[in-house]
Structure 1
Amino acid sequence: MKKSIARATLGIVALSLATIASAQVKPEDQIKFRKAGYSFMSWNMGKIKSNLEGTYDAAQVTAAANAIAGIANSGMGALFGAGTDKDVGSQKTRVKPELFQNMPEVGKLAGDFSGAANNLAKVAATGDAAAVKTAFGDLGKTCKACHDKFREE
């Protein structure tokens, strides 16, 4: 229970600080940058999945898990600023406007994601493929929780 409260609080604080930082980046660029971050994360998730399904390379998995944790802790919440709830210029977004109306819940989801990403990086460093598979599944659940609520298909 205390971990959940701490993660939610951390997520809300990160989103609050991110909102201040977002004022310095145009909405179109915020969407472009967040899409790039999620694409990079997706690529690293794919590397981990390939390793879990094929020949396991602990160094490659560790590098990918560290990249994901780095992004998860980078303050990407700053890229969900005012005006980024819809397409802007050439940048399309699949974020639902409801995300911007539910910041406490978004903060909790962000905290859960960050915690799962940090755990995956920690577990990957051990080289234990079975433990990585479990931690990777847990991380995927945190992604899905946010996508199900706040991302359009």
Structure 2
Amino acid sequence: MNRILASTVLGIAALGVASTALADLKPEEQIQYRQAGYSFMSWNMGKIKSNLEGDYNAEQVAAAANAIAAIANSGMGALYGPGTDKDVGNVKTRVKPELFTNMEDVGKIAGNFVAAADNLSKVAAGGDQVEVSNAFGKLGETCKACHDEYRMKD
């Protein structure tokens, strides 16, 4: 438990340092940081999914849900700055250019994602597997909403 908490706190601290330096980030660095954030959330989503499909460990699920909520609330929208709407050198992005012209819709989708991440974290703290499964499904729906609209297919 202490190791999980320490690694989560360290991750949050690293994001805080990264967010204070956003003004100095090149477009390719913004793309790399946002991809790292989404990869970390995906990894934690996988841990929750494994727990829901196998032996359920409420402590592991809560730690993963807290990590997802921390990233979701970290201000990742700032990593979609000018010049990040396309590949930069050898740094590739799958974001569709439409994301940058539909900010009202993107804001709504992002708000739904943050709310669902916060809810999953809250529900996971209670430890009930059925409630976590429902909240996890809602979070997945918010991910899919953005992917369907603003992420290029592989």
**Same fold (TM > 0.5):** yes
Aligned residues: 133
Return the alpha-carbon distance in structure 2 between the equivalents of residues 41 and 94 of structure 1. Answer: 17
Report the counterpart of residue 143 of structure 2 in structure 1.
Answer: 143
TM-score by length of 1: 0.85
Structure 1 segments unaligned to the other structure (5+ residues): 1-20
Give the equivalent residue in structure 2 for 1:102: 102
Checking the alignment, whether the CA contact within 8 Å between 1:22 and 1:80 is kept in structure 2 is no
Counterpart contact for 1:69–1:114, Cα < 8 Å: yes
* Cross-structure match for 1:17: none
- 2:25 aligned partner, one-letter code: V
Partner of 1:44: 44
* Aligned position for 1:25: 25
Query: By how many angstroms is 1:29 displaced?
Result: 0.1
Percent identical residues: 72
Measured in 2, the distance between the counterparts of 1:86 and 1:141 equals: 26
Shift of 1:73: 0.1
* Cα deviations by residue, 1:22-80 (Å, 9 ceiling, x for unpaired): 44311000000011000000000000000000000000000000000000000000111
Structure 2, gaps ≥5 residues long = 1-20
Superposed, which structure 2 residues align to 1:84-103 within 5 Å?
A: 84-103=84-103
Q: Deviations over 1:82-123 (max 9, x none)?
A: 000000122100000000000011011100000000000000
Query: Which TM-score applies when normalising by structure 2?
Result: 0.85
**1:104 aligned counterpart, secondary structure:** helix
Q: Distance in 1 between matches of 2:89 and 2:58?
A: 42
Partner residue of 1:8? none
Paired amino acid for 1:60: Q
Runs of 4+, deviation exceeding 3 Å: none
